Amino acid sequence: MTFVTAGLAIAGLASIAAPILIHMLSRQRRRPIEWGAMRFLLEAFRKHRRRLQIEQLLLLLIRCLVIALIGFALARPLLEGSNILNVGGSRAVFLVIDDGLAAGVSLDEQGAAIRRHVADATELIRTLDVGDAVGLVTAARPARAVLTPPSSDHGSVISHLEDLKPQQAPTDLPGALGLLKQAIVELDDRYDEVLVYMLSEFRAGSAPLSSPLPESLKDVARNVKLLASPPAQGPVTNVQVADLRPLRSVVLPGVLDGSRQVMVRLERHGGVLERGLTQVRLAGDGIENLPPRTVEWAPGQGEAEVEFTLEFAVTGDRKIGLTATIDNDALGADNQRHAVIELRDRLRVLLVDRRAFGFQPTLDRMPAGLWIRRALEPTDDSPVEVVSVEPQAMDISDLRTSDAVVLSRPDLLPDAGWTLLREFVDGGGLLLLVPPGDINVHPWVDQVADDLELPWRIVLETRDHADGLPLASEQPQSELFRMISSDLQELALPVLAFRTLPLDREQSSAAAVLSFDDGTPLLVMGSPGVRPTGADGDDAAAGEDRVSRGIVMYLALAPELAWTNLPSKPLMVPLFQESIRQGLSLVRSSQQLYVGDRPALALGAAVRDLVDPDGDLYPLDAASRPQKPLHRAGLYDLLDQGAQIVGAVAVNIEPPAGRTETQSPAAVTAWLGDSGPWQLFDPNDLGAALRQTQSGSSLAGIILWIVLALVVIETLLARWFSHAFRADVAGGPGEMFGSGVRGAAGALARAGRAPSA
């Protein structure tokens, strides 16, 4: 047994001493005064002494029990986990609170929406009976079971409610409903009634009606009632920074190619989109101060973009965090967005190729490796440095100092080399595969599917195209060639392929970056498959998956004149320059990190911890996942084992979570109906459902009824045990004398003591 107020129970037990003390004090002996009729009184007292003692002890016991039970009742006793003294009618009330990003919308003087949810929940708790239990589940991702099983300590529940704040993570109602179902199942029929109150404004960011809810509560018991707050109908216009996108995430400051441009995209939704102005600012350590840009919104306009050009105030290799900020509005959490760019003086490319000795070969006999070197280093001051290594001699030290690897002789690479390349790509490297030009059968292609775990099947034998296979007149839209997209069609027009080593399209899953006229891809790009953290996939750690952060590209021909005229055409240099430079930018920006997630971070073996802008530490587990969900948006530092900063990553808010459009009650009810029999409650009368399921008498109430009965019994017994009655004086002197003796004996009995002899 437990008590809501244990102190009152202790005070009740201590108060039992009061009647006992009074009884003991009343037994103190006084000096006897002898008088004439003493002999008769002593004789009467000895005759009734035992009965008088029993009567006194019985009254004392009842009086002590009354005081003790009053203390117990005021302390509100609870019998948790037991059906003892359960007289029926007990209730459990679960509160599901939406504390996601959209719950931070501020509409009026009451502040954020979550404060209204907390106020309603607190008012509801104050209407509950003493024995009713309350559970609490919050819905911001990841959903949390704050109080399960439910507690009868209403004060503690209210304290938990008052601590709730709107999170920067999206609302995860499916996760909250899953926790709710588990909590209801664990009640194990201990309560006659279970009521669930879901408190949310059900704006578009909290309730995506296009995503059906799971049928979590379809099979709930009959004694479970599901109630939801009606959707908010007050219009709220919200402007958010939906994207912050540098044209290149890896910037070479000395190259004037437009890579210093940064695009900021804004979105506006909710309410009536009237004419307005929004000021956009971009800041970051290591860049010159930039003047703000102003967006002039036209009526009904929902999207806008502004462009900034960075001027760097620092030099050398380093990472720079960027933050775009707009004016504050009804939802301030999504008014910022973050990105990280990498500033580099030079890029280092490892060319894995057979070294040439002797005289320079003629152009028609020049191997692919030399053509690739010329394309990457067209001038002496090129920002790309190419370092050659023999396939058999490549080791981990070569890869650690390289940004990208071009493998032009995969047929000469040993098995250990393929393993090293897989680790290089997993750690964020870029790998470009080129078929060797002097063989017709290519058994090495099996290594691409097996060691790199790519869904590509490259054919074993080359295919000839006597008349030349042209490139397609319309090329796919690709982020890789975004910087040259306006000229790509003209550059591709004169290129012909006379020999190719294509993908088997029936057994491959690949998106083409460049395509031939017959639809076969010239260049494909992808990331290696997910693999378990355990070395053999069977250990305990294999439950967590390690993702690859890098990119692998495959060029379906050798850039040699026997295969294609590409080396002699203008496309050759931009093809390899953009593949390396923009490919590295895509690698650096490939992983979007969002608040509320625990993503597998492919940041390299050296990274051990993340540190958020508030200084909170997020240790990484064996799968490079944070051991707790990312709590807030901002620029996070990466720490190595020595707690030294080795990099930075940007964590952002998911823009859809901040959508503030209102939704109709009918649509929300139908959406909730997929998960269970929900009904909308009246916000002006939250206790209506509680009054329909009034709980029975609590244990404290039963005790108070027992106390009342004992008081009545004690009063009757005290009157009966007093032996007081009227003396009958109608008789003679003898009768009068006898009556006087009996009256005196009764007086002694009421005094509860015997006179001294």
- Residue 537: pLDDT band by 50, 70, 90 thresholds? very low
Given 532, 560, 589, the domain boundary residue is 589
Q: Are residues 491 and 580 in the same domain?
A: yes
Of 554, 573, 589, which residue sits at a domain end? 589
pLDDT at 407 over 50: yes
pLDDT at residue 88 tops 50: no
Domain count, the chain: 3
Q: Shortest CA distance to 434 belongs to which of 474, 375, 482, 493?
A: 375
Q: For residue 242, tell me if it sits in a domain.
A: no
Q: Please tell me the predicted confidence (pLDDT) of residue 29.
A: 55
What pLDDT is recorded for position 752? 44
Highest-scoring range by mean pLDDT, 210-219, 344-353, 621-630: 344-353
576 and 682 inside one domain: no
Average confidence (pLDDT) over 218-231:
88
Checking if the pLDDT of 144 tops 60, the result is yes
What is the distance between the alpha carbons of residues 232 and 170, in angstroms, rounded to a whole number?
18
* Separation between Cα atoms, residue 95 and residue 132, nearest integer Å: 13
Q: How confident is the model at residue 6 (pLDDT cuts 50, 70, 90)?
A: low
Are 196 and 95 part of one and the same domain? yes
Q: End of a domain among 544, 563, 589?
A: 589
In a domain, residue 290? The reply is no
- Name residue, tokens 């709107």: 166
Which of 449-458, 477-486, 501-510, 566-575 has the largest mean confidence?
A: 566-575
How high does pLDDT run on average in the chain?
84
The band of 754, judged by pLDDT with boundaries at 50, 70 and 90, is: very low
Q: 377: domain CATH number? A: 3.40.50.880
What is the rounded CA–CA span in Å between residue 676 and residue 510? 41
- 756: in domain: no
pLDDT at res. 705 = 82
- Evaluate whether residue 612 is within a structural domain: no
Pairing state of beta strands 463-470 and 496-500?
A: antiparallel
Q: Is residue 422 part of a domain?
A: yes
Q: Residue 18: inside a domain, yes or no?
A: yes
Closest CA to 644 of 602, 600, 601, 611: 611
Give pLDDT, residue 727. 47
Q: Which domain holds residue 194?
A: 91-235+660-696
Q: What is the mean pLDDT of residues 104-131?
A: 87
DSSP result, 313-353: S--SSEEEEEEEEE---S-GGGSEEEEEEEE-S-EEEEEE-
Residue 11 to residue 71: CA distance in whole angstroms: 7
pLDDT at 26 over 70: no
Asked if 386 and 441 sit in the same domain, the reply is: yes
CATH code at position 182:
3.40.50.410
Domain presence at residue 519: yes
CA dist 706 → 70, 75, 468 (Å): 10, 15, 103
Rounded Cα–Cα distance for residues 381 and 349 (Å): 15
The Cα–Cα gap between 95 and 141 comes to 17
Is 50 exceeded by the pLDDT of residue 539?
no
Does the pLDDT at position 325 exceed 50? yes
Residue 521 DSSP one-character state: E
Residue 291 lies in a domain: no
Q: What is the pLDDT of residue 40?
A: 64
**Lowest pLDDT segment from 25-39, 437-451, 556-570:** 25-39
Q: Which three-class secondary structure string do you get for 236-303?
A: CCEEEEEEEEECCCEECCCCCCCCCEEEEEEEEECCCCCCEEEEEEEEECCECCCCCEEEEECCCCCE
Q: What does each C-alpha distance from 136 to 64, 89, 122, 285, 377 come to in angstroms?
A: 41, 21, 12, 42, 63
Q: What is the mean pLDDT of residues 337-346?
A: 93
In sign, the C-alpha dihedral spanning 649, 650, 653, 655 is negative
Cα 400 to Cα 406: distance, rounded to the nearest angstrom: 15
Say whether both 711 and 686 belong to one domain: no
**Residue 677, pLDDT score:** 92
Asked if 361 and 460 sit in the same domain, the reply is: yes
Question: 46 and 137, same structural domain?
Answer: no
As a whole number of angstroms, the distance between CA 368 and CA 353 comes to 9
What element of type H or E holds 714? helix 699-721
374 and 518 share a domain?
yes
Q: Are residues 62 and 45 in the same domain?
A: yes
**64 and 120, same structural domain?**
no
- Same domain for 585 and 484, yes or no, is yes
Q: Which amino acid is at 75?
A: A
The reported pTM is 0.77
Look at residues 625, 644, 645, 623 and name the one whose alpha carbon lies nearest to residue 635: 645
Is there a single domain that holds both residue 737 and residue 677?
Answer: no
Query: Residue range 671-675: average pLDDT?
Result: 94
Residue 354 has pLDDT above 50, yes or no: yes
